[in-house]
Amino acid sequence: MHTFFAQIRAGLFLLTVSALTAGTVQAEEPMHPYHHHQNLHDHSGHQAPVGVMGDHRHKKGEWMVSYRYMYMDMDETDIGSAEVSTARVLSEFPVAPLSMDMDMHMVGAMYGVTDEITVMLMIPYLDKSMDHRTRMGAEFTTGSSGLGDIKLSGLFSVYEQGAHRLDLNFGLSFPSGSIDERDRTPMGPDQLLPYPMQLGSGTYDLHPGFTYAGHHDRLSWGLQFMTVQRLGENDRDYTLGNRYEGSSWISYQLADWVRGSVRIRKTVWQDIDGADPELNPNMVQTADPTRQAGKRWDALFGVDFNGPADSIFAGQRLGLEWGIPIDVDVNGPQLVSDTELTVGWQITW
């Protein structure tokens, strides 16, 4: 099975490289002031899939507001790259997570300070729930919801020539998400929830990265690499692990108002440094800071609907993207995602 997934991943990667190569040969064209203006303003045709954030700039004075809904379902437990049973987890811990659902609502805004600099604000609201089973067979559910970590970032033009552009991304997130979420468990009515059920990092975090995008005729493609670098230790004596994420995508304009996309994504995340003194790492895997690291490949498939320029929906975009894992390797036992869905709406003026 893993060989099959590896072949899928390799095929998607080669498809992306082929499109990039073709675009470099075919899409190179001389820079012209009008063409530069067109590239900046024609977001609907050349934006990344809706699950990619911070992928484009706006021209000076231009605004965009957006709403995204993201859903993630986790009901498989892995150690390394192998799925394990709940009984296997309960042989090591008194409590085993069975599944976790996460809903995130993200409100965002972008503004073009100049043609070369765009600033972006993202405000997330999270809703999490996790089902558990004890060695005695009892089952219970915990939940948390509230504001996540707010992020302020900028996109800075480094290169733009013809159909190709390269931007630097740099952001800072603020510890607005709670790390003190509590709920009822078999241990008592007001127990601190483990790390995955908290709403924020508790630290100021840097978000550096870069985005490349190109296009030719109806075909668009791009690459993005982003990291999350934690700054210091939070007031509960731990630091979440750094994260590294790279994406490559291809999209094709099927009609004037609809575009399909395929994206591959690699994510790596590290273990937690330190530990919350109120959590017992021997009780449940989610409370053990040394069992949080992992890496994964995902395949994501999207479709965008863009409002026609001569309609009341001009400047609007509705996007959907659905993703599944193709390879997972975790320092488990850990719950891993089976599927994810992003739905987003944007309006530009």
For residue 118, give both structure tokens: 């765009």
For residue 175, give both structure tokens: 């510890």
Query: If we measure between CA atoms, which residue out of 16, 47, 44, 59 comes closest to residue 264?
Result: 16
Fold of 2-348: Porin (2.40.160)
Q: Cα–chain-centroid distance for residue 151?
A: 13
Query: If we measure between CA atoms, which residue out of 17, 7, 1 comes closest to residue 249?
Result: 17
Q: How are the residues of the chain apportioned to helix, strand and coil, as percentages rounded to the nearest 5?
A: 15, 55, 30
Domain segments of the chain: what residues? 2-348
Cis link prior to 33 (omega < 30° from 0)?
Answer: no
pLDDT digits (tens, 9 = 90+) for 128-167: 999 999 999 999 999 999 999 999 999 999 999 999 999 9
* DSSP result, 178-203: -S--EEEETTEEEEEPPGGGSSS-SS
User: Residue 199 class from Cβ within 10 Å (0-12 exposed, 13-18 middle, 19+ buried)?
Assistant: buried
pLDDT digits (tens, 9 = 90+) for 27-38: 344 333 333 333
CA atoms within 13 Å, Cβ hemisphere of 192: 15
pLDDT in tens, the chain (349 residues): 444 444 444 444 444 444 444 444 343 443 333 333 334 444 456 789 999 999 999 999 999 999 999 999 999 999 999 999 999 999 999 999 999 999 999 999 999 999 999 999 999 999 999 999 999 999 999 999 999 999 999 999 999 999 999 999 999 999 999 999 999 999 999 999 999 999 999 999 999 999 999 999 999 999 999 999 999 999 999 999 999 999 999 999 999 899 999 999 999 999 999 999 999 999 999 999 999 999 999 999 999 999 988 888 999 999 999 999 999 999 999 999 999 999 999 999 9
Q: Is the pTM of this model over 0.75?
A: yes
b/e 316-343 (16+ beta carbons within 10 angstroms → b): bbbbbbbbebbbbbbbbbbbbbeebebb
